[in-house]
């Protein structure tokens, strides 16, 4: 290295692997980039082993790519003797060791890391600067600037604002293409038995060396992995291949079947780009542009609602959740609207339950570190909410088990959308259902131990009695919600003896929750 008088150290976090960032436009010998594998990031939750391997492998590839471009890179491996396993201590070590005269970093996406680095630079005796990550469509506080009050911050309004601002799926008169903003009603189809699902694109990365490093460090991890044939993209080239595969082969079915669930089909037509996006190997803009480009070329084969449904998830929901996160943290992480105190059933860590839907969704999560949004919302999340599990427990599980789970996007979806622990900041009502919805949108119920049509009895599906128990228990909090009036009307009309049987059934299931 060329140690001159004015040298800058730049920190790159594990989810800041954006090779198109302004930082990397030119090679500057006076600038060194620091990347590190640290226990502070592996140990704050019990992460899926595929998640830890995926992050470290992607970081190592990115460091190598920077070096091949001529940039100076300092890379700290997990087992390096000089690794203090904290961002601040490692940065200070290299600043003092190499006499760096300036420190720079990009805005972190997690509040925890943001506060950590703010405190660190406040104590530094050298100049420092912070840069935008140049990834998102919107800024951290753009959501707050758009709305006059928190109650008006509905996603649909934000989504339309984003479409207009960035001219996405708009016509020449600045109106939404095809006359409507949202085609969600067309995106709720169950997959027919005769339909043959396309096999997903997976990779075969040999990452035994990364797993060995992790195992030797005795990091506590969950889930399963074949590190000799690691299936997730670990660099930009593979991420672009996955994007192209989705656009060319899956997009035409995505919207219609995005809510559908099938046992032993873990991917269906979902893009599985969230891991690459959240590490910034891909940008949301290039993902949206690619999808729209393929649609414009293949309009005879791809219906518009397939595209709009996907774009809404990226430019609408993903950006909206980030805005909600930065507007409400750190208090959001303490919200518990229903004052739930329960523990997750033990089978959430094994999948060993007689409920086929939960067995399938959890085992899939353990095997692939992935489940699509309806599996997360209406299977695992739905059950946790009906069972009265403390949102801290649910947060920890979701943050750990999914490869794409980073707090800024996980906690808003889990504590907000899934558990309604925020009391309505994210969603206008709790997303709960009985077995009827699960049976409608999946084939889980076909060979299940429990009967989806029964509310009481030994073979009654637990979702049914827990559903009505939830509404009975939380009537004082939910009865005035205009979106739940019909449910309470149905409940009030039930025969008192029937209601008592249902509540007794729910109590029995809750008392024997680990045996379900």
Flag whether 224 is in a domain. no
Same domain, yes or no: 97 and 195: no
Band (151; pLDDT cuts 50, 70, 90)? low
Looking at the structure of the chain, the number of domains it has is: 3
Flag whether 69 is in a domain. yes
Q: State the residue range of the domain holding 285.
A: 142-204+234-328
- Residue 324: Cβ within 10 Å count: 26
Q: How many CA atoms lie within 13 A of 181 on its CB side?
A: 14
Widest CA span of the chain, in angstroms? 84
Same domain, yes or no: 150 and 278: yes
pLDDT at site 1: 44
pLDDT of 4 strictly over 70 = no
> How far is the C-alpha of 103 from the C-alpha of 441, rounded, in Å?
52
Domain finish residue from 295, 328, 361: 328
pLDDT of 147 strictly over 80 = yes
* Partners of residue 36 on adjacent β-strands: 76
Same domain, yes or no: 419 and 352: yes
Sequence-distant (≥ 6) Cβ neighbours of residue 511 within 8 angstroms: none
Domain finish residue from 328, 362, 381: 328
Q: For 344-387, how does the pLDDT look when each residue is reduced to its tens digit (9 = 90+)? A: 999 999 999 999 999 999 999 999 999 999 999 999 999 999 99
Flag whether 220 is in a domain. no
Same domain, yes or no: 179 and 311: yes
For residue 23, what is the domain's CATH number? Answer: 3.40.50.620
Flag whether 72 is in a domain. yes
Question: In sequence order, what DSSP letters do the residues of 93-122 get, joined into one string?
Answer: HHHHHHT-SEEEEEPPSSHHHHHHHHHHHH
Query: Is the CB of residue 318 less than 8 Å from the CB of residue 412?
Result: no
> How far is the C-alpha of 150 from the C-alpha of 91, rounded, in Å?
38
pLDDT of 150 strictly over 70 = no
Same domain, yes or no: 321 and 424: no
Same domain, yes or no: 67 and 147: no
Same domain, yes or no: 169 and 317: yes
pLDDT of 304 strictly over 60 = yes
Mean pLDDT of the chain: 94
Domain finish residue from 102, 131, 160: 131
pLDDT of 3 strictly over 50 = no
Look up the pTM and report it. Answer: 0.94
Tokens of 198: 């396309």
Flag whether 227 is in a domain. no
For residue 454, what is the domain's CATH number? Answer: 1.10.579.10
* Burial call 135-166: b when 16+ CB within 10 Å, e when fewer: bbbbebebbeebbeeeeebebeebbebbbeee
For residue 302, what is the domain's CATH number? Answer: 1.25.40.80
Burial classification of residue 515, based on how many CB atoms lie within 10 Å of its CB (0-12 exposed, 13-18 middle, 19 or more buried): exposed
Flag whether 304 is in a domain. yes
Residue identified by tokens 């004082």 is 476
The average pLDDT across 385-405 equals: 97
Q: How far is CA 239 from CA 199, 234, 236, 377, in A?
A: 17, 7, 5, 26
Q: How far is CA 366 from CA 50, 269, 380, 475, in A?
A: 9, 20, 13, 35
Same domain, yes or no: 356 and 468: yes
Same domain, yes or no: 12 and 112: yes
Query: Is the CB of residue 267 less than 8 Å from the CB of residue 200?
Result: yes
Same domain, yes or no: 507 and 447: yes
Query: Is the CB of residue 315 less than 8 Å from the CB of residue 137?
Result: yes
> How far is the C-alpha of 53 from the C-alpha of 59, rounded, in Å?
10
Same domain, yes or no: 126 and 147: no
Flag whether 218 is in a domain. no
Q: Minimal CA–CA distance to 479: which of 437, 420, 434, 429? A: 429
Q: Minimal CA–CA distance to 428: which of 149, 154, 150? A: 154
Same domain, yes or no: 173 and 265: yes
Tokens of 283: 């940008």
Query: Is the CB of residue 116 less than 8 Å from the CB of residue 87?
Result: yes
Flag whether 338 is in a domain. no
């Amino acid at each position: 290295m060329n140690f001159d008088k004015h040298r800058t150290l730049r920190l790159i976090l594990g989810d800041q692997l954006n090779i198109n960032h302004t930082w990397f436009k030119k090679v500057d010998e006076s600038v060194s980039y620091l990347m590190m594998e640290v226990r502070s990031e592996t140990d704050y939750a019990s992460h899926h082993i595929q998640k830890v391997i995926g992050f470290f492998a992607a970081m190592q590839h990115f460091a190598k790519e920077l070096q091949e471009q001529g940039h100076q890179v300092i890379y700290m491996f997990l087992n390096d003797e000089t690794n203090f396993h904290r961002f601040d201590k490692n940065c200070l070590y290299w600043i003092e060791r190499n006499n760096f005269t300036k420190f720079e970093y990009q805005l972190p996406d997690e509040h925890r890391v943001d506060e950590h680095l703010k405190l660190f630079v406040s104590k530094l005796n050298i100049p420092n600067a912070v840069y935008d990550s140049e990834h998102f469509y919107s800024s951290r506080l753009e959501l707050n600037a758009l709305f006059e009050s928190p109650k008006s911050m509905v996603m649909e309004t934000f989504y339309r604002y984003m479409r207009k601002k960035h001219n996405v799926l708009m016509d020449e008169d600045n109106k939404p293409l095809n006359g409507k903003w949202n085609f969600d009603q067309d995106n709720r189809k169950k997959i027919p038995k005769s339909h043959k699902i396309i096999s997903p694109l997976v990779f075969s990365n040999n990452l035994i060396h990364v797993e060995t490093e992790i195992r030797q460090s005795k990091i506590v991890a969950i889930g399963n992995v074949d590190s000799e044939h690691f299936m997730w993209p670990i660099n930009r080239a593979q991420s672009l291949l996955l994007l192209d595969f989705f656009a060319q082969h899956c997009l035409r079915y995505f919207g219609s079947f995005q809510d559908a669930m099938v046992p032993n089909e873990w991917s269906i037509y979902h893009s599985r780009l969230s891991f690459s996006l959240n590490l910034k190997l891909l940008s949301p803009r290039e993902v949206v542009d690619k999808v729209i480009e393929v649609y414009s070329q293949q309009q005879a084969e791809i219906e518009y609602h397939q595209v709009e449904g996907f774009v809404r998830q990226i430019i609408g929901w993903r950006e909206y959740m980030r805005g909600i996160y930065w507007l409400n943290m750190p208090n959001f992480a303490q919200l518990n609207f229903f004052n739930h105190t329960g523990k997750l059933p033990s089978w959430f860590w094994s999948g060993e339950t007689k409920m086929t839907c939960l067995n399938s969704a959890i085992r899939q999560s353990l095997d692939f570190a992935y489940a699509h949004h309806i599996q997360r919302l209406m299977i695992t999340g739905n059950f946790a909410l009906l069972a009265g599990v403390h949102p801290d427990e649910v947060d920890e599980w979701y943050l750990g088990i999914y490869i794409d789970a980073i707090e800024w996007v996980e906690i808003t979806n889990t504590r907000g959308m899934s558990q309604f622990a925020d009391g309505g900041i994210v969603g206008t009502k709790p997303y709960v259902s009985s077995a009827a919805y699960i049976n409608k949108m999946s084939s889980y119920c076909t060979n299940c131990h429990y009967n989806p049509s029964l509310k009481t009895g030994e073979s009654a599906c637990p979702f049914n009695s827990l559903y009505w128990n939830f509404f009975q228990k939380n009537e004082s909090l939910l009865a005035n919600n205009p979106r739940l009036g019909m449910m309470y009307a149905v409940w009030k009309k039930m025969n008192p003896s029937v209601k008592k049987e249902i509540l007794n059934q729910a109590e029995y299931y809750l008392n024997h929750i680990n045996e379900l």
